[in-house]
Each structure stands twice: as C-alpha cells, then as structure tokens.
C-alpha cells in the first residue's frame, strides 16, 4: 500500500508542473465563462454544473447563445458536432497512449480536451513514473482548473459588473498560445503548416460558416499521406 501511495504521489508531482500553463489559461477562461453565464442570468451553480458535466470549453461558450434564445435542438446538435468534431481526430490518435491503462482510461476519455491532448502528446512520464497515474493527474488537474475557474467567475460575476464585450475571445487566444508553443519544436512545424494550409483552402472553397469539417478532412488526408515523413 505504501509503495502504491508513493507511486501515485510521484506521478502527481511529475504531472503537476506540466499543467501549470493550463492552470493559467483555464483560470482566465473559466472565470470569463462564469462571468458570461452570470450576465445571462445563470448563477455560479449552473456554470459549475455545466462545466463539470459537459467539460467542452469552446462548445460551452457557444452554448451561451443557445441558452438565451429559442431552443432549436437540431441547430444545437449540428453546432455541437461542428465545434467538437476535432475530438474525433485527436481522440483516435490517443488510442495507443491510453492502451492498457485499465478503468482509468474511461475517465481519461471523458476529460480529454485540447490542452490535455497537447500535454499528453508532447510529454512522456519520467523514468520510474507510472504512465497510468501520470496521464490521470494531467487530466484530473486540467478538469479541476476548468471547473474551479468557472466557479470563481460565477461568483465574481455576481459581485462585479463591467462591459463583457469581447470576453469570449479568450478561448481563441488560448488556442493561439498553445499553437505558438507547439511550433517551437521543429518536428511540429510540418503538421502545423498542413493545418494552416488545409484551413485556408477549406475557407476559400467552403466559406467561413462551413469550413470546419472540410478543413479537418483535408488535414487528415494530407497527414495520412505524409505519415512516412512525419515518422522520420
């Protein structure tokens, strides 16, 4: 039992430093989301419940509009697919990473988000550290950061009133920062170029409102065709 506790503790201590950038980003994003929900009449309790159950930051921001207009289930369904379709692609790429991790795997799947994916893909657990608990704590900490930030934002929204115009841009800003951090590594630059080029082509052909799914398909096809080059 002592050995198991030590193993878990060491995994936590190894995982925590890698999640600090997400702590910073999710604190700001969660607070922004909580404040925006408060301005629409949804208190901290609703914000936290939504974050804990859904845990899909970009769709949660998009859902604020759905919550404040006449509900259209078909529109909500299509929007959810468009906004979260990227999860299919990077979820598939995590099959090998999460293979053989036992029941914890289901929690890892449930809490997989862009930031957790970015860390898990780019960081390997140090020698002697359990991969299972290392991945678990990265996912758990990121999840806690988001829910806690939402709660703080919901509470602050009840106390402080200010103009929230443009506040929802913080999510886009975080993705830009994560992208900039990834392309610092040489091996990530070719996939980054493919992503940018595929997105531009999709935008030009399908337009701003219909570009997401086609862009992902283009990127997936090109990446699959460039697999040998990427694996060198």
**26 plus 73 within the same structural domain:** yes
Give whole-number Cα distances, 145 to 31, 139, 152, 182, 185, in Å.
10, 10, 11, 21, 26
- Which domain, by its residues, includes 147? 2-166
- How many other CB atoms are found less than 10 A from the CB of residue 45? 10
Q: Taking 60 as the threshold, does the pLDDT of residue 170 lie above it?
A: yes
* pTM greater than 0.85: no
Q: Domain count for the chain, please give it.
A: 2
In 3D space, the residue among 145, 140, 138, 105 whose CA is nearest the CA of residue 121 turns out to be 138
| Residue at 157 is within a domain | yes
Instruction: Please indicate, yes or no, whether residues 13 and 87 belong to a single structural domain of this protein.
Output: yes
* pLDDT above 50: residue 41: yes
214 and 133 in a single domain? The answer is no
Which residue has better confidence, 229 or 97? Answer: 97
Classify residue 119: in a domain, yes or no: yes
User: pLDDT at residue 1 above 50?
Assistant: no
* 143 and 29 within one domain: yes
| Residue 134 and residue 19 share a domain | yes
H helices of 160-230, in order, are 170-182, 189-206, 212-225, 227-230
Instruction: Kindly state whether residues 147 and 189 are assigned to the same domain.
Output: no
């Amino acid at each position: 039992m002592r050995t198991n506790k030590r193993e878990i503790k060491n995994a936590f201590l190894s995982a925590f430093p890698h999640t600090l950038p997400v702590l910073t980003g999710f604190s700001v994003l969660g607070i922004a989301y909580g404040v925006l929900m408060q301005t629409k009449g949804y208190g901290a309790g609703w914000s936290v419940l939504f974050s804990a159950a859904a845990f899909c930051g970009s769709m949660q921001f998009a859902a604020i509009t759905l919550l404040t207009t006449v509900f259209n289930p078909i529109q909500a369904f299509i929007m959810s697919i468009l906004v979260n379709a990227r999860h299919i692609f990077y979820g598939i790429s995590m099959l090998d990473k999460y293979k053989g991790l036992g029941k914890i795997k289901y929690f890892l799947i449930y809490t997989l988000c862009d930031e957790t994916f970015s860390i898990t893909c780019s960081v390997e657990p140090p020698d002697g550290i359990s991969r299972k608990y290392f991945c678990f704590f990265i996912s758990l900490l990121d999840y806690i950061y988001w829910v806690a930030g939402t709660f703080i934002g919901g509470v602050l929204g009840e106390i402080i009133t200010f103009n929230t115009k443009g506040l929802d841009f913080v999510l886009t800003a975080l993705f830009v920062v994560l992208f900039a951090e990834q392309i610092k590594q040489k091996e990530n630059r070719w996939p980054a170029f493919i992503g940018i080029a595929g997105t531009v082509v999709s935008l030009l052909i399908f337009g701003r409102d219909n570009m997401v799914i086609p862009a992902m398909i283009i990127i997936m096809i090109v990446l699959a065709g460039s697999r040998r080059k990427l694996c060198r």
